[in-house]
Amino acid sequence: MLIITTAKEMLQHAIKQREKELKIGFIPTMGALHEGHLSLIETSKSENDITVCSIFVNPTQFNEANDFNKYPRQIDADLLKLKTLRCDVVFVPDVKEIYPQPDTIQYDLGVISEIIEGEHRPGHFNGVASVVKRLFEIVIPHNAYFGLKDYQQFLLVKELCRRYGLNVNIIGCPIIREESGLAMSSRNQLLSQKDKEIASNIYKSLLSVKNVVHEYNYRQLESLGVRLLSSSPEIDIEYFLVVDKETLMPPTDKNAKLIALVAVRVGEVRLIDNMFL
Ligand code: AMP
């Protein structure tokens, strides 16, 4: 497994692979790898000649300093996991490699960047757009793999490629969960065992709402979701929304395909999850 730390070397390596007409699959991550990340790598390995995983805790996408400082970092364990999976290349840049100059670009990604997570985490999606665009320029992948756990991010990256002419095929991969139903996340490491049990109610609430999707309208489904989550007083609800899965807006048509999107805090840890209904 090749470990690359500079943008220049990464780009040169990627160009060489392309010259050999090898297909590059890419998985951008912030490390503290779990089975969710590893499933993306396995999918990439099955669909490409070369799989590149990046590990970079991107400062520009954190809208809370505390969240950035506490974000789990465990590079040695990550490298071991990637090696075991036979990932071909790991790109581990430092901040200067990604942002030689401070990043000041404001991306215009339309409504998708402004609503829901965009509203609750000001600046977050601009940071995601800038790091993804920069990484795509350095890794020049054919295919890039994103988890549907961050569903709005997945739509945002597709929009980034469309609006900014990035020629990368964006592939969404299913949410990997703990046995309890809790969606895997690097931030779960910051939860106590009791917190994890409490947080598994997020999945249970989503599932209960899915089970009655044909009986209620979207507002009633949202109220039900909030009521179910509220039965755990330790869960601080930011939102429980039922929206059109294409536009992330309230459904306007009874045939619209729906998704429930949730953000909560358990203690100081912010968790998001979702489910197609
Ligand atoms: P992160 O390291 O949190 O930035 O995540 C890197 C990639 O892994 C993103 O595309 C995430 O959506 C994806 N991911 C994170 N958690 C999961 C999960 N539980 N299941 C599937 N994909 C995930």
How far does residue 147's CA lie from ligand 1's centre (Å)?
A: 5
Express each pLDDT in 21-57 by its tens digit. 999 999 999 999 999 999 999 999 999 999 999 999 9
Concerning whether 37 is annotated as a catalytic residue, the answer is: yes
Express each pLDDT in 163-193 by its tens digit. 999 999 999 999 999 999 999 999 999 999 9
- Quote the mean pLDDT of the chain: 97
pLDDT given at position 10: 98
Beta bridge partner(s), residue 266? 235, 269
Is the Cβ–Cβ distance between 51 and 39 less than 8 Å? no
Q: Give the integer Cα–Cα distance in Å for 30 and 92.
A: 10
- Ligand 1 pocket residue status of 149, Cβ below 6 Å: yes
Express each pLDDT in 99-140 by its tens digit. 999 889 999 999 999 999 999 999 999 999 999 999 999 999
pTM as predicted: 0.97
- Ligand 1 pocket residue status of 157, Cβ below 6 Å: no
What token pair was written down for 15? 């160009």
Question: Can you tell me which atom of ligand 1 is nearest the CA of 148?
Answer: 12
Question: Can you tell me which atom of ligand 1 is nearest the CA of 187?
Answer: 3
Contacts of 93 (CB under 8 A, 6+ apart): 5, 6, 7, 10, 54, 56
